[in-house]
Chain A
Amino acid sequence: MSPGVASAEKQAEILKDQGNVYFKKERLSAAIDAYTEAITLCPLIPVYWTNRALCHRKRNEWERVESDCRKALELDKDSVKAHYMLGLALLQSQQYREAVKQLEKALELGRGGKPGTYMVEEIWQELAKARYTEWEQGALVRKRQQKDLKELCERLLKEDCERRLTIADVNTAPVKQSLVEIDGVIQLDDDEFSGDENKSDDPPNEEITKLYHQHLETLTQVFDKAGAPDRPVEVPDHLCCKITMDIFRDPVITPSGVTYERATLLEHLRKVGKFDPVTRTPLSSDLVVPNLAMKEAVQAYLDDHGWAYRTY
């Protein structure tokens, strides 16, 4: 290896360290310059790119954050910071679907390391926020469209009912009379003139009105059902931790069969006592098991009820 190449790498590292110092002192322009020089010397080191991206993030220069992160990911597709900041940048440009994907990737990779680091918590918060905003956007549009359509249908049904009633009134003005053939001559059938037979059915008006009301009721039910997932309600009990009362993020189960939020249970065991919070049977943290099926159940609920991300 020629001395020239070695010193370029060393120099780049020195520049990076300089940049870190500037960053800590909030001298972002200087930090950016230092990282940029390092990149020029050694463009294949992902950390230089993500460090610079972090500076741009502090200055809300989101387009630059995006381009630096994408470059970093070309060099290291498993960079937690790159996925994370790319996700944040995409949020800024309201590309929610993509943003969520990046943040999910960052969370997945971040969790591979030691659990409970600040980074994972921060990523989680941003991810929840992104999913909430994505849901909110869609929900507003759906609500408005459904409201407009429902009101239009209610009006049209009413007008349709009134039209039918008018037609019915016209049709029943004269009592219908039957015609019979007597001795070869067609004449009115006096025997059927009593009118009782006509009254054995519901008068057409009542039939029409009854049908109208039934349609209205079905309409209300249908629109209620269609709009229900978008209406915030209480998250079902079985999806919530008995201690936090919030929807599970990382559910674990104890030998007693009760499921808790992992972090909350571990804290309970550390600070309160080594027993199951609900059943009070003796319990140590090594007996705690991840409730994978419940984790999927929670995700399925969130997929359909995006408003529940707000409590995260």
Chain B
Amino acid sequence: MAREECKALLDALNKATACYHHLVLTVGGSADSQNLREELQKTRQKAQELAVATRAQLTAALRDRGLGAEERAEFERLWVAFSGCLDLLEADMRRALALGTAFPLHAPRRPLVRTGVAGGAAGVAARALSARSLRHEAEGDFDVDDLRELEREILQVSEMIHDMEMKVNVPRWTVQARQTAGAELLSSAGASSVGAVSVQERTGPCDLSKALAATVFSAVLLAAVALAVCVAKLS
């Protein structure tokens, strides 16, 4: 059904935007590197593809005059969420451009700010692309070309937003969001468990320290239990 497809596309776009936001946070900081810029590019290209697809679907659905009132309301809700998401994406892209220009990777007149973030963000980008992992295959001087690409893409996205506003007329004030104020907490329990599972799925260097802590703790616990048994036996 069109509605389910639209919803799925919107969810994917949402995920990509969130991951992009997360990646842009670290531009210019100590985690900035060629890989990061490449991940940024892949994420935003994916986001743009999703945006184009969603827009086509939603425009087709909203232009259809034969929709019932309830369906129409549903689509309008999706439309508002979609345009908000696209605005967020565009804002993040602009900031990425400014930050990328301000902190060029090569020829560092401006060394990167040491913010304490040291790890790679490959996982984040992989999540955005719904891929298992990410291969980095960029050459040197990637960031300069990337910035030019980014400028062009920003213009494309702004044009898309402008087109959207012109073609489809959805007044924002008539849309009623479905989620109430406390809604996020109800399903957050499910979300956190999913998150925990996904964390445990990943093996990586950080888990070593966790494993070490776990073994030390269990050893201490065993020693305590043994002492208690001895004391119990002696007394």
Partners in one complex: no
B residues whose Cβ falls under 8 Å from a Cβ of A:
none
A residues whose Cβ falls under 8 Å from a Cβ of B:
none
